[in-house]
């Protein structure tokens, strides 16, 4: 894959520092150097010690990544929300894990995406998951189609410039929900379980912002923005205010109101395209199980 830049400053700069400013890490530079990549300045091969001057044109050629041979193929079709040469966004169904695990090497979104890449004949078939979701959470998942895109998107994640919003259906003490609120209990491991988390003063800081979208006497639909990324954060926080997610058996959610998985869906994704600089916004409608409960709510 090829990327071209123009050096516009008046003062000279060493090429390696310019490339670092473009988000090219030492690891990627090493890959370019040792795995068949190339660096050109004004169409001439150069090394990273070259001194750039104004109006120089810099082109880098990143070698193809091939594939993770250990990632198995699952040819189940995927629902593509957006795709270009750098990004792939899919709508993940509930009940499907994001990535393989030791005892579950197949049947995940990563396996399905790899099969799709192979069907399309893409040169880069390494799976780069940027935003993963729990197995029983549905909605938008972002994949980078090569390592350079993944690195640049990770910067946005760390700087909280990549925004995910969720919708959840909760029950319990929903009369206590305000039209807009925040839950800020710290979250720690629950030592009684390998999976479970709990609120604890000894835990890590966590902040969940929500908006009450719709409710009736039994259930409420909330839209959620995470300001931190703790494991099970949404599920733990709403359980802590006595409004657990429907279908969330692990955290005390009601199992008799029409849904048997945590009623949680990643509905919006906002970020800046890592190469064009365009502001991108994507939405995914509620899946059928959550949509039917929403539809049944009285106004």
> Catalytic residue positions?
134
Tokens representing 174 are 């929903």
For tokens 């890592």, the residue is 274
Rounded to whole angstroms, the Cα distance separating 243 from 175 reads 10
Strands 264-272 and 163-171: antiparallel
How many CB atoms are closer than 10 A to CB 170? Answer: 29
3-state secondary structure of 28: helix
3-state secondary structure of 243: coil
Q: Exposed, middle or buried: residue 173 (CB in 10 Å: 0-12, 13-18, 19+)?
A: exposed
Rounded to whole angstroms, the Cα distance separating 55 from 59 reads 13
Rounded to whole angstroms, the Cα distance separating 41 from 283 reads 41
Instruction: Give first-to-last CA distance, the chain, whole Å.
Output: 52
Angle of helix 26-34 versus helix 147-158 axis, rounded to 10: 180
**Cα 258 versus chain centre, distance:** 28
Q: Identify whether the C-beta of residue 214 lies closer than 8 Å to the C-beta of residue 297.
A: yes
For tokens 């049944």, the residue is 296
């Amino acid at each position: 894959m090829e990327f071209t830049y123009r050096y516009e400053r008046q003062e000279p700069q060493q090429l390696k520092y310019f490339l670092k400013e473009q988000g090219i890490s030492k690891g990627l530079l090493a890959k370019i150097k040792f795995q068949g990549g190339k660096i050109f300045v004004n169409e001439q091969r150069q090394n990273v010690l070259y001194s750039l001057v104004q109006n120089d044109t810099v082109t880098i050629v990143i070698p193809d990544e091939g594939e993770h041979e250990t990632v198995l193929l699952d040819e189940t079709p995927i629902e593509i929300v957006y795709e270009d040469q750098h990004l792939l966004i899919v709508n993940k169904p509930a009940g499907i894990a994001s990535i393989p695990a030791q005892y579950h090497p197949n049947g995940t979104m990563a396996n399905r995406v790899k099969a799709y890449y192979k069907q399309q004949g893409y040169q880069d078939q390494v799976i780069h998951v940027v935003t993963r979701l729990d197995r029983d959470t549905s909605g938008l998942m972002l994949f980078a189609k090569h390592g350079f895109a993944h690195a640049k998107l990770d910067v946005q994640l760390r700087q909280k410039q990549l925004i995910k919003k969720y919708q959840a259906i909760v029950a319990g003490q929903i009369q206590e929900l305000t039209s807009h609120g925040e839950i800020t209990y710290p979250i720690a491991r629950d030592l009684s379980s390998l999976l479970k988390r709990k609120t604890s003063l000894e835990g890590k800081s966590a902040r969940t912002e929500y908006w009450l979208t719709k409710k009736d006497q039994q259930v409420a639909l909330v839209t959620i923005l995470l300001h931190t990324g703790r494991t099970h954060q949404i599920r733990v926080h709403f359980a802590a205010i006595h409004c657990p997610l429907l279908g969330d058996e692990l955290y005390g959610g009601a199992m008799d109101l029409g849904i048997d998985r945590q009623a949680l869906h990643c509905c919006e994704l906002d970020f800046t395209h890592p190469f064009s600089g365009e502001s991108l916004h994507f939405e995914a409608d509620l899946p059928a199980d959550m949509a039917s409960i929403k539809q049944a709510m009285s106004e």
